[in-house]
A and B are shown apart, each in its own frame.
Chain A
């Protein structure tokens, strides 16, 4: 925690929903948001979907950013951060369009922004019983351990996209949010650290995908192992910007 940090609970939070071909699950996510956190503004970021994702937000009168090409979840989130800056929001919460992120935990994420620039919803904190293949578990543990050393904070889940970012973080991420796969989670923490942002975690229980098809094949999920480590090593090598 830095001495010059001024923080309080954000008064104008924005939910950013990155979505790639999520016409099946997006309606459910938006319905849940309307029920559980009706006072939050929402923007859906359509990352070049070729299904009917865009009509989902249109028919519900929810703001939508339609990216003409597929640039990945990092790019979609960066668009969300820029949108937040230009429209005066002081917090951004990422809620994925596939329904895995628990909407009921959103208020807790935002509240934790009173004492931290970035709050991560961790699947492993407090042993919420989250199951994942042993390879991924080992890699995630290793990454968390390394990043905990670097950030000097105890982190347990560094590949979780379920996060809230406060005003200082929004400013940083609007400028440079990593776009490649796993960069938006792992590398963004290194970026946060380089810019003097504080990171903390609260526990969160994800749900299985609520429908539709994952954007990753099994082979890609396996290559995840190598890529995560490489992304981290590269992030560590980067010159400070």
Chain B
């Protein structure tokens, strides 16, 4: 097996093992678990099947198979980063909502406390 295929195989295996272990520890939410599993599977597939990568590259009109790999990786990371941006924005918004509710709750509790103390004061 050529060096490069060996490297790809090791990378694919490492990715799969890491993904599965993180899934076991519940560190990956289902949507990301599926994504990373598919990704690792794809890397493994390319590493194991000779000529598959070249076939794909030619199919899409890339002059070099390497260009295709870089393109996929960059595009994939771009999409992932975009997804994270959206999610972080949403989570920030939710945290803000929770913070506001907390403040309102504190205010309510303080009012109830004063009310109770006021009543006791008149006894």
Closest partner residue, chain A, to B105 (CB atom): A68
- Distance in Å from the Cβ of B17 to the closest Cβ of chain A? 13
- Distance in Å from the Cβ of B86 to the closest Cβ of chain A? 16
- Annotate A222-241 by CB proximity to B: 1 below 8 A, 0 otherwise: 00000100110010011101
Which residue from A69, A183, A231, A237 sits with its C-beta under 8 Å from B24? A237
Closest partner residue, chain A, to B20 (CB atom): A237
- Number of A interface residues, CB 8 Å? 12
A39 at the A/B interface (Cβ < 8 Å)? Answer: no
A68 touches B98 (CB 8 A): yes
CA distance A234 to B30 in the complex (A): 7
B30 touches A69 (CB 8 A): no
Given contacts A68-B97, A180-B29, contact A238 B34 (CB under 8 A): no
Residues in A neighbouring B20, C-beta threshold 8 A: 237
CA distance A241 to B20 in the complex (A): 16
Which residue from A68, A180, A239 sits with its C-beta under 8 Å from B30? A180
Residues in A neighbouring B30, C-beta threshold 8 A: 180, 183, 227, 230-231, 234
B87 at the A/B interface (Cβ < 8 Å)? Answer: no
Residues in B neighbouring A69, C-beta threshold 8 A: 94, 97-98
B25 at the A/B interface (Cβ < 8 Å)? Answer: yes
B26 at the A/B interface (Cβ < 8 Å)? Answer: yes
B26 touches A230 (CB 8 A): no
B98 touches A239 (CB 8 A): no
Residues in A neighbouring B98, C-beta threshold 8 A: 68-69
Which residue from A68, A227, A231, A238 sits with its C-beta under 8 Å from B26? A238
- Distance in Å from the Cβ of B118 to the closest Cβ of chain A? 25
Residues in B neighbouring A180, C-beta threshold 8 A: 29-30
CA distance A241 to B23 in the complex (A): 13
B24 touches A239 (CB 8 A): yes
Given contacts A180-B30, A230-B34, A234-B30, contact A239 B97 (CB under 8 A): no
B39 at the A/B interface (Cβ < 8 Å)? Answer: no
B101 at the A/B interface (Cβ < 8 Å)? Answer: yes
Given contacts A68-B98, A69-B97, contact A239 B25 (CB under 8 A): yes
Residues in B neighbouring A183, C-beta threshold 8 A: 30
Residues in A neighbouring B97, C-beta threshold 8 A: 68-69
Name 14 extra pairs, CB < 8 A, besides A180-B29, A183-B30, A230-B34. Answer: A68-B97, A68-B98, A68-B100, A69-B97, A69-B98, A227-B30, A230-B30, A231-B30, A234-B33, A237-B20, A237-B24, A238-B24, A238-B25, A239-B25
CB pairs A–B below 8 angstroms (5 shown): A68-B100, A230-B34, A231-B30, A234-B30, A238-B25
Taking Cβ atoms with an 8 Å cutoff, the residues of A that contact B are 68-69, 180, 183, 227, 230-231, 234, 237-239, 241
5 A-B pairs closest in CB distance: A68-B101, A239-B24, A69-B94, A68-B97, A237-B23
